[in-house]
Structure 1
């Protein structure tokens, strides 16, 4: 008998409004952040990072607004290991339903060249900040470790063990420069899992500099992480972060195989992403997984022939599951099967000779290097063949 695979629920932490926003050109107003936070909450995420309240009045106001309106998700604020940052975060959002993140510096490279402090100072400041947050009544304090992926294990272990003793209940393992492979990141998560056993939570935070953010996040989850940090559309510093829609899609289809699942409601994701793009004026990429303009589109004749007969031939990921629709476009690589499909849709039968003539006129010579929607070509055919457009059917 085959042994059943247990599937573990993964907590989802959305950092679109903090790490996503701090990338160039992604600035959002407080009211924009509130609208997006409510849309993201509706997707079923567990935690929403509001921003860095001590950094500006706008970030403070966004946190205050979001803290007052969330009903199911926890809100999270980002702080340096500085008491005043934590006081400001608590002033903005209170302590109820509030997770405070206290950033630690995880590598000698950053300690020497950015912070210019010693290892002992780095550990001491985190211990003090975590204990201070607990003293204010904050019930959940997490420690995101910047540049953990290039950190020395003895330093990382000292930060972790000391912060747990001070009251930290979660560690966020930052591949801040996006430099690790999945195997390397999985090993790093496994090390943290030894230093901070359950019930302390471990969270992944992966950047996409090598295009490995999703793969690294999954490797981290499989190595024992409890939570994944992600952003809508993968927005974030440089090449971006783990994309929320990609991790949700992968676990929706491969979760049983991987032993992981989320409670994300995927159908509303594209609408939320569209709202985000409108706020930050982000052009929609043509080929991005799940959210690309043509992620579920085809213009190649061989593919179209298969999709018209059975969409599963070229659609492993189902568009409707993510609030999308398939699109079949007419382009210079389209074949006669899609033209035949259009003619059937308007109730016209033609000979092979006429089909070739129509194909040359409406596809080869008309379209050139661009693509046209089926509806455009269908209307043109209907006019030429004197078919009433109202009677036309089809895709």
Structure 2
């Protein structure tokens, strides 16, 4: 049976760029957009055109550049926003307008000082108006995670009737638990007339560290688009990390879900976004962190050296990392020292390794990590003590 495709909607250049201090100029956005297209994302959300002349220009230039992906512009449920987005996207071969409105009680009462009836009316008008400019209209129900399912279903049904091709169900505040978010998607699949004719999209934030889990729960329950960013950059604690959801789906083939992402470009793309945004990635970040394929515990190192799969579920080459890293520390064992010594040109006998290991421990107790330069020093001492040249 062929795996069903989950489309990857990348919003690094819109939601990701909203992070304080991560502002990108048009040239930088074009470089990243070109890479995202090469990476294989299905949709690039290029910006919020009405927000500024710079954002309008960026969306306009990205629309000209991108060859394969759909190019998307965000709007509020406001006619002017939609008109400006349509103008910015006019050169796109596959344009998409992403429009919507808040649907939770909190948004309706405090943000809009409005009513459910008025929200439904505005949603219908926005989708219908956007449909005058493009065929592909995505509707977002902002704060859907905290919206009652029955009302959310009503809004979604009206959006479909008005011409929406994609329904975005955002967990805007990162509040949902995975089972709650998955159940919400399942409820919509079962209660919204015409939903089989549109794509359901997950847009999850990471306030409680659950963005990836929620997105996976969403697609397991019927969503077929995930909205995400490189490195998980985004408002507050960030968005769903593209590299995480892509590799979850790749590593669990029994889910029968796949993407079009060229995973071997993930690490290099991560580095590009870090550099352009000036946004470092924590070393223990899944998939693309510096320590994602690094091992410093002796037990782990011995296992990985014997067979990588003992402690790694992903071959680092699959995501563009050259190889696993064996980091020498005071917790490393003889196998790790022998492995790293061989990497820099030393084939050790058992006697030499025993001597070298005792010297190594003296180095390791004084510093956090023993590097290649230290290994050469250790081998010189081994040669003196054993009176045997280390080759």
TM-score normalised over the length of structure 2:
0.92
Distance 1:343 1:133, change over 3 A: closer
Match of 1:209 among 207, 221, 225: 207
Match of 2:248 among 226, 247, 250: 250
Whole-Å separation in 2 of the counterparts to 1:297 and 1:331: 12
* SS class of match (2:18): coil
Matched, 1:378 2:379: no
Instruction: Name 2:29's counterpart in structure 1.
Output: 33
* SS class of match (2:219): helix
Distance 1:289 1:343, change over 3 A: closer
> 2:359–2:378: 8 Å Cα contact kept in structure 1?
no
Matched, 1:127 2:130: no
Whole-Å separation in 1 of the counterparts to 2:135 and 2:273: 31
Measured after TM superposition, the shift of residue 342 of structure 1 is 4.2
> 1:12–1:262: 8 Å Cα contact kept in structure 2?
yes
Whole-Å separation in 1 of the counterparts to 2:188 and 2:29: 32
Distance 1:154 1:315, change over 3 A: closer
Measured after TM superposition, the shift of residue 239 of structure 1 is 1.6
Deviations along 1:21-68, whole A, 9 cap, x unmatched?
A: 112222211111111111111111110000100001121111011000
* SS class of match (1:16): coil
Instruction: Name 1:141's counterpart in structure 2.
Output: 137
> 2:160–2:195: 8 Å Cα contact kept in structure 1?
no
Whole-Å separation in 1 of the counterparts to 2:2 and 2:64: 37
Alignment of 1:75-90 (within 5 A): 75-90=71-86
Distance 1:284 1:163, change over 3 A: closer
Instruction: Name 2:231's counterpart in structure 1.
Output: 233
> 1:96–1:138: 8 Å Cα contact kept in structure 2?
no
Instruction: Name 1:109's counterpart in structure 2.
Output: 106
Instruction: Name 1:99's counterpart in structure 2.
Output: 96
> 2:72–2:89: 8 Å Cα contact kept in structure 1?
no
* SS class of match (1:12): strand
> 1:332–1:368: 8 Å Cα contact kept in structure 2?
no
Instruction: Name 2:58's counterpart in structure 1.
Output: 62
Number of residue pairs matched? 382
Deviations along 1:291-342, whole A, 9 cap, x unmatched?
A: 1101101111111112222222211111010011311111111112222334
TM-score normalised over the length of structure 1:
0.91
Higher alpha-carbon deviation: 181-190 or 360-369: 360-369
Match of 1:337 among 335, 338, 341: 335
* SS class of match (2:15): helix
Alignment of 1:177-192 (within 5 A): 177-192=173-188
> 1:192–1:202: 8 Å Cα contact kept in structure 2?
no
Whole-Å separation in 2 of the counterparts to 1:175 and 1:221: 14
Instruction: Name 1:118's counterpart in structure 2.
Output: 115
Distance 1:383 1:225, change over 3 A: same
Match of 2:274 among 274, 277, 281: 277
* SS class of match (1:17): coil
* SS class of match (2:152): helix
Unmatched tracts of structure 2, length 5 or more: 385-389
> 1:277–1:284: 8 Å Cα contact kept in structure 2?
yes
> 2:67–2:93: 8 Å Cα contact kept in structure 1?
no
> 2:244–2:286: 8 Å Cα contact kept in structure 1?
yes
> 1:286–1:294: 8 Å Cα contact kept in structure 2?
yes
> 2:10–2:228: 8 Å Cα contact kept in structure 1?
yes
Whole-Å separation in 1 of the counterparts to 2:120 and 2:340: 68
Instruction: Name 2:363's counterpart in structure 1.
Output: 365
> 1:134–1:167: 8 Å Cα contact kept in structure 2?
yes
* SS class of match (2:170): strand
Unmatched tracts of structure 1, length 5 or more: none
Instruction: Name 2:387's counterpart in structure 1.
Output: none
Instruction: Name 1:260's counterpart in structure 2.
Output: 257
